[in-house]
Copies of this chain bind each other. A is one copy, B any other.
């Protein structure tokens, strides 16, 4: 093998539900030289990152920081730190990532109760609250935006119901954070885990999360500081020790907090990236950012429908940042994706399990969520479908999106005069 060349991956238009295109300013921030983990210049960046994350999670929680790993590392950290072996955990499932929550919780010794909903639909709050009252779980764990089906689950009433019953609620908001409102405090969520490689437009490798004091106390009771760095003030845990060292949030918060307890060596460049990505979100403004995602979703879906395609999910349950399309009859879904990537350099996604080959998923997230990308994916998809002999209306998809953009921009320009 020849190792005399640097990596040279092609430039892609990435319209999947993640990883999406990283903001160029984030990539630039990552190339900043490294400083030491306890250098005041770095701990200051850590503190700023926490403050930025609080704003994005819409929370007053003290604790908002990343776990050094991909999104599921954050989910595992929260579940590992929260679940005592034998705890009862209720997982309402409406797609693949609901299963993931059961997979993780089971490994940490939970007794799992699931409630399943047909893929492509979401729960009414009552369905979950009823099951909650029947099962009386210690913890409810669920997904906010299910990328596998393109659905979004309203959480406000469920969060309030958990709080009223003294049940902890843990939410996977990997797909929604930074693109769709996630109101940690207003919805009474005890812990929320976000992702970076989706609406955040930061490369995969960090799992920002937040949790409140109520759940934090549960973590603290299980705290055991490592031998070799523990002091006499560090007691033995009062509750069962957390079953992972890497995912022990009681130690991690002391690393991110003023004590600066030595744990891992923070992933400097990924923190730079997360800081920059978070800064760009806060500077864009949360409401403006959510509106931008809605705006391009409208153009995208108008184009898809004009072409003659039907959506797998529409209406209130549709996740604004992921659009799932029913694959037309007799069309090889993977072959279409292959031509899109190989000939147009555009990536869209398949789905998992029962939906593989049945739907395509188009993401419109973060930096990828912009006009030229929406127009490009529509034009290319129409072209590949025509090539494959699918019954689509030629020349219609881009026209629909283009009309949408031109008209909106004219209206905006007129209003500004």
Contact = CB atoms under 8 A, between A and B. Distances in A.
Interface stretch (A179-187, A270-278, A324-332, A407-415): A270-278
Nearest to A37: B19
B6 A35 contact: no
A7 interface: yes
A343 interface: no
A30 B269 contact: yes
A48 B267 CA distance: 23
Contacts of A27: 30-33, 269
Given A71-B264, A205-B269, A246-B69, A35 B14 contact: yes
A242 B46 CA distance: 33
Interface in A19-72: 19-22, 24-25, 27-37, 39, 41-42, 45, 48, 51-52, 68-72
Contacts of A279: 3, 6
Interface in A257-305: 262, 264-270, 272-273, 275-276, 279, 282-283
Task: State how many copies of this chain the complex holds.
Answer: 2
A320 to B, nearest CB: 20
A41 B226 contact: no
A108 interface: yes
Main secondary structure of the interface of A (DSSP, over half): loop
A242 to B, nearest CB: 7
Contact of A12 (B39, B76, B264): B39
A268 to B, nearest CB: 5
A36 B16 contact: yes
Nearest to A242: B107
A237 B350 CA distance: 28
A262 B36 contact: no
A32 B228 CA distance: 40
A288 to B, nearest CB: 15
B22 A7 contact: no
B266 A76 contact: no
A12 B32 CA distance: 12
Contacts of A266: 70, 204
Contact of A30 (B20, B30, B243, B262): B30
Given A203-B269, A245-B72, A352-B229, A34 B7 contact: no
23 contacts: A3-B282, A10-B35, A19-B268, A27-B269, A30-B269, A31-B31, A35-B347, A37-B204, A68-B204, A69-B264, A70-B265, A71-B265, A96-B228, A103-B227, A103-B245, A104-B246, A107-B243, A197-B265, A204-B264, A204-B266, A205-B268, A205-B269, A246-B247
